[in-house]
Structure 1
Amino acid sequence: MAFFRPGAAAGLLPLGKLVLRTATICWRLPSGHAVGYNERVASLRFSAAALLIAWCGAAQALEPPSGIAAFVGEFTAQDQSIAPEKPPCGGALVLISADGLALSLAEALPPGDGPWKVVFPGSVADPAQGPALATVVRRGATSTGVLLRIGPLPSGAVPLTGCAGDALTVGMPVWSAGNSHGTIELDGQVALSRGIVSGRSVIEANDPPVRGRHGKILSLYRGPVIEVDAAINDGNQGGALLDDAGRLAGLVSLGAERARRMGTAVPLPAILADLGLRSADLGGDPLPAPRPPSADETALISATTVVARSVALVAFDRPRGPGNPQAVPRPPRAVDEAPGWERRKLRDWWAAYWHQQQVFFADQPVTAVALGGTDLVTSASNLHGEATNGRVLLAGGSVACSVVAVDVPLDLALLRAERDLGLPAAPLAKVRPALGTTVGLLGRHRADSGHTLTIGGISAADRRLDQWPYALLQVDCLANYGSLGGPLVTADGTVAGLLVLLGPGDDRPWLVNSGVAMAVDAPTLAEAVTRLKTGASRDRPRLVGLGIRHRYEGDDSGVLVQEVVPGTGAAAAGLQAGDRILRLNGNPVSDHQSLSRLLLRRQPGDRVDLTIDRAGQRLVLTVELKEF
């Protein structure tokens, strides 16, 4: 499922206005990235003179830059083995001078030493001149920046000017611009996405490489990065990070910190210094400051900056090591003789498995919210590995802490430090936020860096997951293990809720940056904290079910029964391991989550009719539900 990100499109005018522009719209996907037209799974075309209707606050319109080009994608042996049916997508490069000089990153270059074919938005190669080719002039030693020369340069390609990208601060608006999923190559349009600077940090030299699907290394860059929540996908690497005035602030990288899996960019000044270029060549010496946020944006940024003083970083001891108690099992190897549909299913399964391996098994400090004095609250999901003790990381040292009590239904954990932490209590709101309320999600993930921030809205005000009777808030802020347990802040400076789940269900906690995260609202949080302070934990409520264990398959072909629990309604009805549940009372069952939803408001003793497939034979069994 794709989720439209407000402002994640090209050429937007202030609220309530319609825009007629040539652009490519970007969509959020569960991987935390976006997709422009020509994504082979979920595509949507807005061609020339497309009508874009979007909410974007008081954002300025941005002309699609003509100076961003794409390398023509070429298959590598690894690409061929991963997705032979999907045409390759080239990285991007940014024109910086009228005589054809351009910047890119090493991770964006096609195989070989060049020259490489490049294409500009809307350009048509002159048969007399031949295609535009990019040749390496110089490679950087530390930034992975690459200086190229393009020739012949097509008419209409305007070089970009620069701004002081290292002056961007958390919350400032930015745009990603590039060849996302081949938009420049295939449609002649730059893919643009508006977001904010979500963090400023450093990818350390000893950090493990970030890998994509099937373990492919995405970037080897190590150094300072500008983290953003604008959409970044395959094809954006080497492209532009722009300020709100459309000036070049950095080059987009597919590298990321594993604790957050957010898009990043290498600051422009670092690239210029590494390549021996002058800032005067890109608009001034010194480079001009980035465009500041609007008044409305500034109000929320200021509010989150104040509340960030109450956001703490906790490092837990994990006796059983980090890990997901409901992990995606390792799939079998796909053999060449397997049919195409089987290979596609296994590829999706492997993608989910590798994504979880990359994200969940990172043992990083987690976010908690100070309640004043010695107490903090965080998400109980942060206690994986049977964590009960830890340390609150403060400037100049740390303070030991332990888990006082846990509320499993709300996924909350109360922590208590050995001494007063000296952190202000977070100001909790008195009422639940309304649907559509804009919120900022705060987090911390490194002791030596500041807070992080992603902005979104309350996208659903009454979410009840599986058979849980408790209502949660759904938010479309990008949320990850660096912000799990962090506060949702409104422009009035109060905490509207606490983030507790990264995905739409506790059975899929690895869906980082999905745009569908869950939070406990502030009034419910305050009530739960009062109870937790007494040491009273609360276990999960008893659930109504069939009495089966299922096997994860990564598709929508029904629920495959792995085991039938003795003494349950399923056992009494004759359900067997290997049966596939297709329908419940005539309603289709695509996966275990849809089955849980169909059982949501059932009571013990209710009877349901299951349509199953048993070795190719359709059967209908009546099962009495029981409580577990």
Structure 2
Amino acid sequence: MKRFPFVRSLLSLVLSAVVVQPLAAQTASPVSLEPTADTAKVLAARAPTNAAELKLIQDQLLKVIDRVMPATVAVEIRGAAGSGVIVNKEGLVLTAAHVVGRAGRRGWVQLPDGRRLRGTSLGANHEVDAGMMQIDEPPDDLPFIPVSTGPALDPGQWVVTIGQPGGIVKDRAPPVRFGRVLFRDEGLLCTDCELVGGDSGGPLFDMKGEVVGIHSSIGPMVTHNFHVPVTCFNKDWDRLAKGDVWGGHYDDDPNARPLLGVRGSAEAGTCVITAIFPGLPAEGAGVKVGDVITAVDGRPINTFDELQRIVFHKNPGDRLKLEIDRAGKTLEISVRLGGDE
């Protein structure tokens, strides 16, 4: 891409225009968006070579975003908040395992148009971070997006990342990022699409507008982030749909999900607490909305996803030492994690 510096700048302008378009103008459809022959040829090339080819990519990108955005949702389940995508008219949502935790937990699914729908967690494969949730009473006009059943993505393929970091924000469409697959492995997909706190569980789309992955974690660099390939969902679809939970400490105790009880977002490279859930450990320990958690047990963190990951790998009853910046003052707070019920 270094040979074509105008490519990134022009694509950035495209994305800037996209994320502020009115949500009411967007539609969702289960039909895939097959690129034209000319567009498919450009997408398969190493990089666009001129403005006309770039325009073909831009036009296809805009079609994909318009199609998929209404089905990209915010997910909230008992102190865990993330993103997800609706994949059928019956209200099935794909998200990350560390967002749903285990089966049978009550939560909410919020659409970009403002509708807030009750839902229940289904299965979760914590080995790869794949989870499902079901909307209780899906409306007749529920938007949904098809799941790819094609072959695994190859390095270099263009992809689109969307999520709902910080939940649904009034007058803000879900943030869009555009990039390429860097590499894939068993149960893992790495792209250069930037992820931020709250993107966990959000969808990764190909240029046909099909779901090809679910956001799992932020990588060591801005340009290296990780997703669960949709092939992992397809492989274990029946187990996940019926509520099986496996992998991680859930193999030992399915009820052993540690709880901190906060919601957060990433602002300017920090982990900002945006909500405290009543009755859970963070509230009792004195954590407050607006606190910036800068380190956990002496380990510096920069995103809310990092905090979620650290908590996930703990057990109920474990203690965390949080280093907090509160209005310019540094505090240390010890929190004893609760357990799921």
Scaled by the length of structure 1, what TM-score is found? Answer: 0.31
Task: Pick closer, same or farther for the CA change 1:427–1:413 going to 2, 3 Å.
Answer: closer
What corresponds to 2:38 in structure 1?
none
SS of the residue 2:219 aligns to: coil
What corresponds to 1:303 in structure 2?
64
- Aligned residue type for 1:294: K
What corresponds to 2:168 in structure 1?
446
Is the Cα contact below 8 Å between 2:84 and 2:93 reproduced in 1?
yes
Task: Pick closer, same or farther for the CA change 1:385–1:416 going to 2, 3 Å.
Answer: closer
Task: Pick closer, same or farther for the CA change 1:389–1:54 going to 2, 3 Å.
Answer: farther
What corresponds to 2:127 in structure 1?
409
- Aligned residue type for 1:428: S
Separation of aligned partners in 1, 2:222 and 2:231? 26
SS of the residue 1:415 aligns to: strand
What corresponds to 1:540 in structure 2?
248
2:234 pairs with 1:473:
no
2:314 pairs with 1:314:
no
- Aligned residue type for 2:7: A
How far does the alpha carbon of each residue in 1:6-28 deviate from its partner, in whole angstroms, 9 at most, with x for none?
5xxxxxxxxxxxxxxxxxxxxxx
Separation of aligned partners in 1, 2:194 and 2:299? 27
Is the Cα contact below 8 Å between 1:391 and 1:399 reproduced in 2?
yes
- Aligned residue type for 2:190: Q
Task: Pick closer, same or farther for the CA change 1:528–1:54 going to 2, 3 Å.
Answer: farther
> Displacement, 1:386?
11
Task: Pick closer, same or farther for the CA change 1:427–1:452 going to 2, 3 Å.
Answer: same
Separation of aligned partners in 1, 2:151 and 2:177? 22
- Aligned residue type for 1:439: V
- Aligned residue type for 2:136: E
- Aligned residue type for 1:520: V
Separation of aligned partners in 2, 1:516 and 1:420? 35
- Aligned residue type for 1:514: V
Is the Cα contact below 8 Å between 2:203 and 2:214 reproduced in 1?
yes
How far does the alpha carbon of each residue in 1:121-170 deviate from its partner, in whole angstroms, 9 at most, with x for none?
xxxxxxxxxxxxxxxxxxxxxxxxxxxxxxxxxxxxxxxxxxxxxxxxxx
2:154 pairs with 1:430:
no
Is the Cα contact below 8 Å between 1:316 and 1:387 reproduced in 2?
no
SS of the residue 1:451 aligns to: coil
- Aligned residue type for 1:519: H
Is the Cα contact below 8 Å between 1:472 and 1:518 reproduced in 2?
yes
- Aligned residue type for 1:59: V
> Displacement, 1:471?
3.2
SS of the residue 1:502 aligns to: strand
> Displacement, 1:409?
0.6
Is the Cα contact below 8 Å between 2:121 and 2:134 reproduced in 1?
yes
2:118 pairs with 1:400:
yes
Task: Pick closer, same or farther for the CA change 1:199–1:382 going to 2, 3 Å.
Answer: farther
Separation of aligned partners in 2, 1:477 and 1:396? 26
Separation of aligned partners in 2, 1:429 and 1:452? 26
> Displacement, 1:436?
0.9
Separation of aligned partners in 2, 1:396 and 1:498? 22
Structure index of larger Rg: 1
Is the Cα contact below 8 Å between 1:498 and 1:520 reproduced in 2?
yes
What corresponds to 1:515 in structure 2?
223
Is the Cα contact below 8 Å between 2:190 and 2:225 reproduced in 1?
yes
1:276-295 aligned within 5 A: 294-295=55-56
Task: Pick closer, same or farther for the CA change 1:527–1:386 going to 2, 3 Å.
Answer: closer
How far does the alpha carbon of each residue in 1:246-273 deviate from its partner, in whole angstroms, 9 at most, with x for none?
xxxxxxxxxxxxxxxxxxxxxxxxxxxx
Match of 1:458 among 172, 181, 186: 181
Task: Pick closer, same or farther for the CA change 1:387–1:420 going to 2, 3 Å.
Answer: closer
SS of the residue 1:535 aligns to: coil
Match of 1:377 among 94, 98, 108: 94
> Displacement, 1:396?
5.5
- Aligned residue type for 1:431: P
Separation of aligned partners in 1, 2:197 and 2:11? 22
Task: Pick closer, same or farther for the CA change 1:406–1:384 going to 2, 3 Å.
Answer: closer
> Displacement, 1:173?
2.9
The Cα RMSD (Å) is: 3.3
- Structure 1 outlier segments of 4+, above 6 Å: 384-387
Number of aligned residue pairs: give it: 214
1:319-330 aligned within 5 A: none
Match of 1:529 among 237, 241, 245: 237
What corresponds to 2:218 in structure 1?
502
> Displacement, 1:387?
10
SS of the residue 1:314 aligns to: strand
Separation of aligned partners in 1, 2:222 and 2:103? 26
2:191 pairs with 1:483:
no
> Displacement, 1:384?
7.4
Higher helix share: 2
SS of the residue 1:457 aligns to: strand
Is the Cα contact below 8 Å between 1:310 and 1:426 reproduced in 2?
no
Is the Cα contact below 8 Å between 2:156 and 2:182 reproduced in 1?
yes
2:12 pairs with 1:173:
yes
Unpaired runs of at least 5, structure 2: 22-53, 252-296, 301-341
Task: Pick closer, same or farther for the CA change 1:453–1:59 going to 2, 3 Å.
Answer: same
Separation of aligned partners in 2, 1:552 and 1:471? 30
> Displacement, 1:433?
0.7
Identity of matched residues, %: 16
Separation of aligned partners in 2, 1:396 and 1:297? 28
How far does the alpha carbon of each residue in 1:348-386 deviate from its partner, in whole angstroms, 9 at most, with x for none?
xxxxxxxxxxxxxxxxx5311112113111112334799
Match of 1:390 among 91, 100, 107: 107
SS of the residue 1:303 aligns to: helix
SS of the residue 2:70 aligns to: helix
Separation of aligned partners in 1, 2:160 and 2:211? 9
Separation of aligned partners in 1, 2:91 and 2:137? 6
Relative contact order, higher structure (CA 8 A, sep 6+): 2
> Displacement, 1:411?
0.7
1:126-165 aligned within 5 A: none
- Aligned residue type for 1:173: S
